[in-house]
Structure 1
Amino acid sequence: MYSEWAHPVGGVTVWSRTDGGGEYRVLPDGCMDLIWHDGTLLVAGPDTAAHAAHDRPGASYAGLRFAPGAGPGLLGVPAREMRDLRVPLADLWPGARARQLAERAGDDPVAVLEQWVSRRTREVGPADPLPRRVAGALAAGRTVAEVAGRTGLGERQLRRRCEAAFGYGPKTLARILRLQRALELARAGTPFADVAAEAGYADQPHLSREVRALAGVPLGELVRR
């Protein structure tokens, strides 16, 4: 069973899951997560392709999902250093600090994580607005050149800023955000040919190739799951 809801802190989603066991696939979405599982806190970095995993029946998780660009400032680590990784929080923070948060989370991980992100947001102050602007423009189908022009950055500088905020450059982020848009449309019952057109693919074969490249399985299988 899975549930999620928006946290009052913008760009943060709280989620919990009790696993039925077996294999599952986490698709790239540009996000980072702070995850509590079996008394341990892990940071899941931004993925460039689907992350396949296997779990036992009844496994319990709680987490915070940080929208593209929101995680590095709160977690204190550049996204590029976490790309395609799952790392214990104790490897990123001073060990005692990470252990204390994990121990407090043992009784009610969701409540403790919600409290932590509220407190942490006050500590770090206002977030850099650039990542949200970039992600929003790319999700709307703007080209990298257009985004660079809108932000006043050269393309090389934009790439460096994107790698720190998102874990990869703007072209990769645009592909991932387009995949998420395609999945949203397909799961709503939109015919795949229309999905391709509405999500910004050249045609349906292009959609199929991109889904396989990023998700590892055909679009139809993702929708059935």
Structure 2
Amino acid sequence: MNIKLPHSPGRIRSKISVHNDSYGLVVEKANLLIPDISGFTRFVHTTDEVTGNMIIYRLLSAIMKSNILNLKVAEIEGDAILFFKKGKKFTPEEILKQYDLMQKNFNWEVSRLSEEIGEKIDLSLKLIAHYGPTADYKLSGFHKLYGKTVIAAHRLLKNSIKSNVYVLITDELLEDPELFLQNHPGFERGSKNCKIHGGLRNISFVYFDYEKGVIPSSLLDHPGKDMIKV
């Protein structure tokens, strides 16, 4: 490893020779899916720690057991799971089917938990889907992802969509976004300016608001559509 430090004290740059074998770094394109629990912050502030921990544990477990795309877990951050799968991009239909099953099992678990504690649990599920190059490495037995694609996917969780139940699919996963919108009534166009590594990038996407309608059953006709008891 060779490191060259600059003479200027105000700015540090390094030239590091990295061998992929040393760190297990592999840069490949990957699908990133982030199911995120809406209402989580309010829930944490209004629920005691023991009950809240049990509820979130079971809801995240329901999401993870709904995995029909053989996704790997990169991170679990309180109210969200970062799933990924390297290789060819998912089709919008695959993403919608995956979310449909996650949502059904999530809602079923919310209903069951509400009965158990005798109180309505006001939580719902949304999904961000993105695609692009990532660096994948292992650290102490965990898979970790690095790169602008990962940052963009996380930033997309903060958007202007006025809904708590939706699927957001970026243009990177669509062959022809405008044609997709024409052929899939109910989907809407959106975009977000994301500041990534000092630069501003506009990320375009389509989304379906489940608070306004229901995805046509023709897009969800798959063997795994029935609820999994978790």
TM-score bracket for this pair, using the shorter chain length: under 0.3
* Larger relative contact order, structure 1 or 2 (CA cutoff 8 Å, min sep 6): 2
**Higher helix fraction: Structure 1 or Structure 2?**
1
> Comparing both structures, which one devotes a greater share of its residues to strand?
2
- TM-score, length-normalised on structure 2? 0.27
Question: Quick check: which has more Rg, 1 or 2?
Answer: 2
